[in-house]
Amino acid sequence: MTSKVKIGIIICNRYRTCAGGKCLRALRNKEGAFQQYADSDMELVGYTTCDGCPGGNVEYTGEEMVKNGAQVIHLATGLLVGYPPCPYIHTFKSFLEKRYGVKVVVGTHPIPKKYLDLHTSLGTWKDAEWQPLLESTMADEATRKAYD
């Protein structure tokens, strides 16, 4: 019997009008950061924005997601690939984990090739602190191209 993982997603407010197509596709296909649940069913229990810098909604949305059963909250890939990447990503992760005792994963869908190419050329992610944050969203080139 497979277990069901209940997931919340917080996106960057710059993308507040995003319909979630890439995140939901990755969730459905168990790609990107969702491939870690390959042997589980998943249920989305919340999807919202951080409410803009410095993330005023993170405090309240985390509580709502946990009340709805969230076991894991994903900080969407847009927080990584937007320019500049979210300056509060470490703060959000730490706060949500400590305040709500919930696992927080950075990333949802695989990083699209065009964003990987851009950030590589800009040197955005050269600092070693980015590597653990990018890990779950890296994919093979064909998958990255499919998310362009």
Question: pLDDT value at position 3?
Answer: 79
CATH code, 80: 3.40.50
pTM, entire model? 0.95
Structure tokens at 128: 């070693």
Average pLDDT (120-134) is 94
Average pLDDT (80-90) is 95
